Structure 1
């Protein structure tokens, strides 16, 4: 990161409001006291993801694990290229879970926040292609610490999957109203963007009126604060999975059907 790069990106009208908001949130929430309690709660409720998937639908879980393996293999050269440029976009978190859920729920509309390299995006789009129908709407904001950051967003998403993808790059608070004005009902939501309490609560409020009777929410890094715990107190069921040293939360009225193998 260079001061010059940040300043140059801040000069772009589409970037400045979201950049300023992100800086404010990091200053305000940098020492969140909730994290210790949230980490303890998530750890106490965590299940083994692989065991859960095999119980829910063994054949579909095996397909999902194989998709994750093939994606990691095909994305290898692109990952190496990005790493060589000194850019860290994070790893392939929850690919098999997102593929599995999308295949099981067969949502007409899926929504995700936080794209980065596009691992979760590729998982959902791969399942959409296997289903033969569906559309993914993604909300992201380019990494303003690097030069020309848009070129890296979704870089591991195969070209042949992009026809069912609508990508929005103005940040959640500008993207979500625009996306949700176009859709009636969201069948699957994946939240992996602003991990602060305010960011999570805004997302939950904004999508609430657009979720249907089979909706499932996936929320990454639920150990960062207590928002997911508070949210699931009003839900019929939830799951927490330990994944690569962090915790993924899963809830929604469609969870029961997923665990019955989509029936």
Structure 2
């Protein structure tokens, strides 16, 4: 935590963040238009699921917020739902669970696929009492049979998850947003990615790590979402886009 605070206050970080936001804004496109073009039926399915899930989750989160516990909301869950339906991952890996919006999107799409397992890594909110009980708070019980959660932090959790023969098709990164955190994760996961993998990275406006990764891939996409940016890249992305009419 001390390292994160120091990085955020440094002049170099501020310059990089400005450059990253400008790059993301330059490449950003409309998520709804892209999803509709790739597969309009599955995109609509994801939008409908996201709306229904928000109706389920928000009252629970509002009750917590009234008690002084704010777990935040979800960002771009319809995108994760669509990608999971399209890729049909045998194994997906997620870092950063929080309340469980993205977790629920991936698991709901896996249920629709009737296949897939999700590994999720998180670390408890240190500022809350008994914090582990809030991780994945809104994930419905009927989705949890495909889910494995570890709460020791990414570096320790990934050692448990990424065994020598582990192969990952879909990745959602939403944990340590520092350059060091993202670079460590990409190095650690790279040997375990399949030749059809797709990586989704949230808050790519914080630094240039996603740009450096994406520009080495055959294709990438950037989507603006509520003033922030989500990046999507990986070997499997071009195959998904060939679905366009």
TM over 0.5: yes
Distance 1:239 1:72 in 2: 25
Q: Structure 1 157/236 Cα, relative in aligned 2: closer, same or farther at 3 Å?
A: same
Change (3 A) 1:85 1:183: farther
Q: CA–CA distance in 1 between the matches of 2:28 and 2:218?
A: 17
Counterpart mapping for 1:18-57 below 5 A: 22-31=1-10, 32-33=13-14, 34-57=16-39
| Number of matched pairs | 242
1:230 to 2:212 alignment = yes
Verify the 8 A CA contact 2:95 2:172 in the aligned structure 1: yes
Unaligned runs of 5+ in 1: 1-21
Structure 2 portions without partners, runs of 5+: none
Instruction: Provide, for residues 13-36 of structure 1, a one-character-per-residue CA deviation record: whole Å limited to 9, x for no partner.
Output: xxxxxxxxx222322343313100
- Deviations 1:127-183, CA, capped at 9 Å, x for gaps: 011110110000000000111111111111111000110000010111111111175
Structure 1 residue 150 corresponds to structure 2 residue 132 = yes
Q: Which residue of structure 2 aligns with residue 80 of structure 1?
A: 62
Alignment RMSD: 1.5
Counterpart Cα distance in 1 of 2:240 and 2:207: 26
Q: TM-score, normalised by structure 1?
A: 0.89
* 2:226 matched residue in structure 1: 244
1:89 to 68, 71, 82: 71
TM-score, scaled relative to structure 2? 0.95
| Runs of 4+ in structure 1 over 3 Å off | 28-31
Task: Give the deviation of 1:75 after TM superposition.
Answer: 1.0
Partner of 1:13: none
